[in-house]
Structure 1
Amino acid sequence: MIQYINEKVFTIDTGPNMFMGFDEGNSVILFDTGIDESVGRKIDKILGKPVSLIVNSHSHADHIGGNSYFQKRYNSKVFAEPGELSFLNNTELEPSLLNGGYWEFLLSDKFLKAKNSMVEPIDREILSQKGIEILDLSGHSPSLIGLKIDKIVYLGDALFSGDIIEKYRVLYLYDVGRFEKSLSTIEELNFEKAVICHKGLYDKEVIHDLIDINRKHTATIKSLILENSQGTTDYEITEAILNKLSIEPNLTIYMLILSTIRGYLSYLQKTGEVEMVFDKGVRWKRK
């Protein structure tokens, strides 16, 4: 489903995700493309016109999986921030990052590994000429960006709905400190409407409510980690949190949560709230 916010800016609801686009008349610019080529094909059918340019907010599979479809069909140019490029051009790196090394099983999961696409460093001058401003909203991924057109912002995965937090209970974060900084950045933006991928088109007042919900979520996870940092390993802390929150994960979800817990531990070590000790392996203690 397509919905125009103004004469040029529109949203596309693919079911699990909501993306944004910019109508240039004879062609469109897309901000993210979905999890695979079937979603790309669905978006293409809805649009009914060529996609000249794709701007990926970050390198996660559910945002880049349709790139290859549009590049084959329209030879679409794809932009992304330099910090995400390696993961986009060589998508086996994303699951390898989660695991800490190559693991064939994770490479077969489309939620972690999309098809490779040919991506270039983002050209801010080209986008600026079209009235598109780039926002640094990293944290969920190393170099996640948002986009601002007039009083409309595309936040990608820099912010999550309450329904998503309730469903998954532990949001995947790469860098907790940068995620929290991005929440403050969003809070200070001058906008009227915002699109988040998971998911919806919201007024500014609702976005500010969601910022509070996301902050409370990170505070809850920090508290659970501190409670369970008693000379324990990251695996033991993760298991305790899974039990506390009644999460029964498959392997993919488990790896996402384990990676997130490690990110929190790094953050809490930096803030001086936990210390890492080596005692028959790496262990974490609350200070």
Structure 2
Amino acid sequence: MYELIQVGANSYYVQSPAKIGIIKVNDRDVCLVDSGSDKDAGRKVRQILDANSWRLTAIYNTHSNADHIGGNKYLQSQTGCKIYAPGIECAFTNHPILEPSFLYGGFPPKDLKHKFLMAQESGAEYLTPDVLPKGMSIIDLPGHFFNMAGFKDMDNVVYLADCLSSKETLEKYQIGFIYDVASYLDTLEMVKTLKATIFIPAHAEATSDIAPLAQLNIDKINEIADKILEVCIKPIIFERVLQQLFNDYGLTMNFDQYVLVGSTVRSYLSWLKDTGRMRVAFENGQLLWETIK
């Protein structure tokens, strides 16, 4: 773990729970794509930088989930590097309490204020094309989170953040976190058409052909959607929908899974309603979901 792997003349990634990209800007200066899950991840990245006599100039965050920005504060305090994040992700990066608050839908209990869901604050600025090194470009990857972005570098290496999961992850967790299902599907269809020397997904193996894995993720979304439509054949409250999905997929309920899977299921329900496959009714002080037959 935390092994440095070279994939191009100027391109590297650090093998870690959420892969970290390292891109050489010149003989001495480098930038990062994300920073890992916490201070310890940041410290290990710093050791890699020092071992190669590299100077960190910037961190480009793909999105603001804690496992991608957790090393920001440590690395910024140690190196003075700039941090950039796209769109709304910049606000979440500067104010990490927004993530557990958003997931919970209110003021989060202490159970949700931990490093997996709430990173330490760091000083981020808005990501724009003009702050990127020459030869590096932004790839919009909305869906998993608000304004998630990936990057293509000067070696034609593409860093894909969390826009897809490995087969093993899909089989283990079944319902992966998604904020906007429609945008996520559009992103996956776009990713299927991309060409690169190598693709670096944050939570899957590096590959030169990303299309099969993108299709596998599309198929999983459609499977979950069909399952939800089946559960909602008769009018049902949200908590019963969630209970049925946890039981059918053999998932273990805890506070983290309740908010992560729960938020995702709400996103599926919104998408299914907006696409005319579900409707809602309000009866006896309850919101009921029902599949349109």
1:238 aligns with 2:242: yes
The offset of 1:190, in angstroms, is 2.3
Q: TM-score, normalised by structure 1?
A: 0.96
The whole-number CA distance in structure 2 between the counterparts of 1:154 and 1:247 is: 30
1:228 aligns with 2:231: yes
Structure 1 counterpart of 2:40, one-letter code? S
Does the 8 Å contact 1:18/1:200 carry over to 2?
A: no
Does the 8 Å contact 2:18/2:37 carry over to 1?
A: no
1:111 to 85, 92, 116: 116
Q: TM-score, normalised by structure 2?
A: 0.94
1:166 to 164, 168, 171: 171
The offset of 1:47, in angstroms, is 2.3
Structure 1 counterpart of 2:87, one-letter code? P
In the alignment, what sits opposite 1:68?
A: 73
1:29 to 31, 47, 62: 31
1:212-264 CA-to-partner distances (Å, cap 9, x unmatched) read 11011101110111011121111110110100011113210121000000000
1:43 aligns with 2:45: yes
The offset of 1:199, in angstroms, is 2.4
1:80 aligns with 2:85: yes
1:6 to 5, 8, 22: 8
Change (3 A) 1:106 1:143: farther
1:80-115 CA-to-partner distances (Å, cap 9, x unmatched) read 112211111110010100111111324422110000
The whole-number CA distance in structure 2 between the counterparts of 1:27 and 1:191 is: 24
> Which sections of structure 1, spanning at least 5 residues, go unmatched?
none
The whole-number CA distance in structure 2 between the counterparts of 1:233 and 1:74 is: 51
In the alignment, what sits opposite 2:102?
A: 97
1:215 aligns with 2:218: yes
| Larger deviation, residues 113-122 vs 103-112 | 103-112
Structure 1 counterpart of 2:37, one-letter code? I
1:52 to 51, 57, 62: 57
1:197 aligns with 2:202: yes
Structure 1 counterpart of 2:220, one-letter code? H
Q: Secondary structure at the match of 1:59?
A: coil
Does the 8 Å contact 1:80/1:119 carry over to 2?
A: yes
The whole-number CA distance in structure 2 between the counterparts of 1:30 and 1:182 is: 23
Structure 2 counterpart of 1:217, one-letter code? K
In the alignment, what sits opposite 2:282?
A: 278
- Percent of residue pairs bearing the same amino acid type: 32
Does the 8 Å contact 2:86/2:128 carry over to 1?
A: no
> Which sections of structure 2, spanning at least 5 residues, go unmatched?
none
**1:116-131 equivalences in 2 (<5 Å):** 116-127=121-132, 129-131=133-135
Structure 2 counterpart of 1:245, one-letter code? Y
The offset of 1:171, in angstroms, is 0.5
The whole-number CA distance in structure 1 between the counterparts of 2:250 and 2:225 is: 17
